[in-house]
Amino acid sequence: MTDNLFTTLHVNDLTIDVPTGLLVGGQWKAGSSHESFDVLDAATGSPITSVHSATEKDAAEAMDIAVKTQEEWGNTAPRERAEILRRIFDLIMENDEKLAALQSLELGRALPDSRGEVTYGGEYFRWFSERAVSDTGEYRVAPGGRGRIVTIKQPVGPALAITPWNFPLAMIARKLAPALASGCVMIAKPAQLTPLTMLFLAQLTKEAGLPDGVFQVLPTKSAKNISVLLDDDRLRKFTFTGSTEVGQMLASKAAEKTIRTSLELGGNAPFVVLNDADVDLAVEAAVTSKMRGGGQVCIASNRFIVHEDVADRFERGVVEKLGEFVLGPGTDEKTTQGPMVSAEQRDKVAGMVEKAIEEGAKVALGGPEAAAKLTETHPDLDPNGFWYPATVLTDVEPEFEIAQREIFGPVLAVQRVSSDEEALRVANDTIWGLAGYVCGTDMKNTMRFAERMEAGMIGVNRGIISDAAAPFGGMKQSGVGREGGFEGIDEYQETKYLALDI
């Protein structure tokens, strides 16, 4: 690869200039090794472009710059930080179609879902622009009457963010926006599969007037080149979204330096349909929660736990709805279900479906036979793309592998139960607790059920729960801390107590 630092991509009728280098100290540059990696079009398996790969040396340079920049940015007036955040939001909205097309190109996701993410991700910058000027400390009389207790909020310090491939804008937005609002500088590593969206966003932050060195981006083909920063005593905050196994390993490393850590890890979300549910509404919510992003979403419903009284209607409904999805390249306006992000991800999902069938599940839609015939039934699809059909499995039991592991694909697996108590037991019988869903018309009973579900976020009679103004995060082995909402900025702040003797 040459040292070209930008590429021009043509998607539909859009021309998109995208950085392909490292953003270090406000400058786009090649990695010190001059190595690169390809970013693939999930619909064809062909390279879109190549991106420069950061080394440990580049990470060390970025950390030196972050430390030098932290004090000045931390002392910047809250109003100034807020205005920069608002300008970033405005630029995201001005470039919404480019950002959506870019995500659909590198991720494969259908354009309607990518447009939804642009709106959602951009909202974090608007939300935290408002939080930047409204977050205050406290002055109060000590209980003994003589002293005064004063607390102030200060930025934690330099932060490292590692983000996943499935939401290339929103995942960095809900980390970067509160960090900037609180006065923290940040180094970020985008996912190797989908780095282009973050690089484009980084260019927008420069255009918005974010000072050099406040936000630095280090794409790399070796995550260890960036996670080595966890050994640096000057790093004060680590935020990670990804698999439970990797997150726990990195958090253990961060704990050796007592680095403030927030984690959003794996999920195994239950979608519970109670016997008094509005089945049509439950079907709509189920399909929405499962098929957004082709099922490649951390809060996607994974285990559909349906009361036997309504199970037949529910299964017929989801088969009909999923059968309406149009499979094709994510950048095609007609597409409602794009390819999987990679061959590895497609093969993992295919293997889980095959194992479920071996264990006794029945195929109501899609499955291995439909997957094998995709090039016949969909002759317009590139055979080198990472395709998998929308699939519905019935007769699934709680002990099946597909009910025990996160699917991360367009597969809806239905389990039947005979009571609310059985549904709750099955829903909570997992080490994960990120998201959950429940549908019922008796709101007193439904809300009590939701309160007893062991998950950090619960959708009640709805399939979409994400909102920049709401706290996002899980319990059990699904994570630590919250992003978004009023709580999100706390992850990047220290509370300092000043004792006054008055």
Q: How confident is the model at residue 105 (pLDDT cuts 50, 70, 90)?
A: very high
pTM confidence score: 0.96
**HSE-up of residue 484 (Cα within 13 Å, Cβ side):** 22
Give the pLDDT confidence of 191-242 residue by residue, as tens digits: 999 999 999 999 999 999 999 999 999 999 999 999 999 999 999 999 999 9
Q: How far is CA 249 from CA 245, 263, 264, 397, 432, in A?
A: 6, 11, 13, 31, 17
Give the pLDDT confidence of 316-343 residue by residue, as tens digits: 999 999 999 999 999 999 999 999 999 9
Buried b (16+ CB within 10 A) or exposed e, 365-379: bbbeebbeebeeeee
Tokens 């003994």 correspond to what residue?
A: 144
| Three-state SS annotation for 101-168 | HHHHHHHCCCHHHHHHHHHHHHHHHHHHHHHCCCCCCEEEECCCCCEEEEEEEEECCCEEEECCCCCC
With a pLDDT cut of 70, the percent of the chain lying above it is 99
Q: How confident is the model at residue 132 (pLDDT cuts 50, 70, 90)?
A: very high
- Residue 484, classed as helix, strand or coil, is coil
Rounded Cα distance, 271 and 330, in Å: 26
Give the pLDDT confidence of 361-403 residue by residue, as tens digits: 999 999 999 999 998 999 999 999 999 999 999 999 999 999 9
Specify the DSSP element, H or E, that contains 497. strand 493-501
Contact indicator for 244, 266 with CB cutoff of 8 Å:
yes
Has residue 496 got a pLDDT over 80? yes
> Tell me, what amino acid is at 79?
R
Q: What is the mean pLDDT of residues 130-140?
A: 90
- In the chain, ranges of CATH 3.40.605.10 domains: 6-265+480-500
Has residue 135 got a pLDDT over 80? no
**pLDDT value of residue 292:** 93
Q: Mean pLDDT of all residues in the chain?
A: 96
E strand segments, 349-410:
362-365, 391-394
Rounded Cα distance, 405 and 266, in Å: 9
> Tell me, what amino acid is at 253?
K
Say which of 106, 123, 264, 491 is annotated catalytic.
264
Has residue 452 got a pLDDT over 50? yes
Q: What is the mean pLDDT of residues 441-446?
A: 98
Contact indicator for 449, 270 with CB cutoff of 8 Å:
no
Rounded Cα distance, 250 and 24, in Å: 23
- Residue 384, classed as helix, strand or coil, is coil
Residue ranges in 360-457 assigned as alpha helix (H): 367-372, 374-377, 401-404, 420-428, 443-452
Could you tell me which residues come within 8 angstroms of residue 316 by beta carbon, excluding any fewer than 6 positions away?
none
- Residue 84, classed as helix, strand or coil, is helix
Domain 269-467 = CATH 3.40.309.10: yes
CATH of 6-265+480-500, one of 3.40.50.620, 3.30.420.40, 3.90.550.10, 3.40.605.10: 3.40.605.10
- CA-closest candidate to residue 160, choices 92, 62, 77: 62
- In the chain, ranges of CATH 3.40.309.10 domains: 269-467
Q: How confident is the model at residue 138 (pLDDT cuts 50, 70, 90)?
A: very high
Give the pLDDT confidence of 458-469 residue by residue, as tens digits: 999 999 999 999
Cβ neighbours around 212 below 10 Å, total: 14
Rounded Cα distance, 135 and 153, in Å: 8
401 is catalytic: no
